[in-house]
Amino acid sequence: MDQNIDKMRQDLARAAYAQQTQTEYVKVIERLRAKFERPVATLSRDQVRSFVDEVMARQRSASTKARDLAAIKYLYEKTLGRPEMVSFVRYPKQHPKVMAVLSLEEVNRLLQSIRHPVYQAIAMVLYGAGLRVSEALVLEVSDVDGERGVIHVRKGKGGKSREAKMSPALHGWLQEYWDRCRPAAPYLFASRTGKPPIGPSVREAVRKAATAAMIKKRVTPHVLRHSFATHLLEHGTDVRVVAHLLGHASLASTMRYARVTEKLVRETPSPLDLLPQRRQR
């Protein structure tokens, strides 16, 4: 057992990385250790370079390769404090993914198709407040502030906390869910045994609901957050406000949501329409 892998696992947890990310990062480093059958702290720069070359040669997507490289860089830069070991690492170019956006009617059909009250309430929060699924699953009952109309997100990306807007409609949904399910304290979304659901089960519930709602797009929990942001931008909400609601540290992250949508295309006038009307002879 490599103690430095355990240290990295602890560092990732302290930095509030998503559980799935922690798991995938550790898997990469365990592969690195297994390749040379030596503790990762004793590897040479050439050995690390060899493993990086192996990562880049695998028939995987650019995003998967970038994640694996990020794990290696995290180990040497953060946990071991030896950034010179990975100074040569360069991330592969990634073409930005065009994520699906649901229409308002599709969102309504999707939410109505989720029969399980816990999963339905989670989906309501993902779309109604724009939360990440990892943020929603750790919400506690005390994080819902009905009087102020906010949800306190204590474990956002990078460990940063923020306040997400909670509309009266969302508050009403959560009250109805609470009255119906009475989840075990302290979590807002939990079974009667006190255990909150896990990410994969939420993704499966959303996928099945999309099929039941006859939505042809690939729908994931993150699509609900993406639709939340896109719908706000389409209705004229300032991008800086959307960035704050999403918990983005940079506007560049938010601008990914400000893509050209069919709605904006339909509503954009032709320059010809702006010309003075010709008189009829």
- Active-site entry in 33, 162, 171, 225: 225
- Active-site entry in 33, 65, 132, 231: 132
Q: What is the span of the domain harbouring residue 228?
A: 104-265
20 and 59 share one domain: yes
What CATH code is carried by the domain that includes residue 243? 1.10.443.10
Tokens at residue 121, please? 């309430």
pTM higher than 0.85 for the full model? no
Minimal CA–CA distance to 250: which of 134, 152, 158, 130? Answer: 158
pLDDT for 155 beyond 90: no
41 and 174 share one domain: no
What pLDDT score was predicted for residue 281?
Answer: 52
- Active-site entry in 17, 33, 65, 157: 157
Is 27 an annotated catalytic residue?
no
Is 222 an annotated catalytic residue?
yes
The 3-class SS string of 128-180 reads HHCCCHHHHCCCEHHHEECCCCEEEECCCHHHCCEEEECCHHHHHHHHHHHHH
* Residue 94 is assigned to a structural domain of this protein: no
- Active-site entry in 33, 226, 231, 248: 248
198 and 152 share one domain: yes
> pLDDT tens-digit profile of 23-81?
999 999 999 999 999 999 999 999 999 999 999 999 888 889 999 999 999 999 999 99
Is 248 an annotated catalytic residue?
yes
Is 155 an annotated catalytic residue?
no
Is 207 an annotated catalytic residue?
no
Q: What is the mean pLDDT of residues 133-141?
A: 91
* Residue 280 is assigned to a structural domain of this protein: no
Is 115 an annotated catalytic residue?
no
User: How many domains is the chain built from?
Assistant: 2
User: How many residues can be counted in the chain?
Assistant: 281
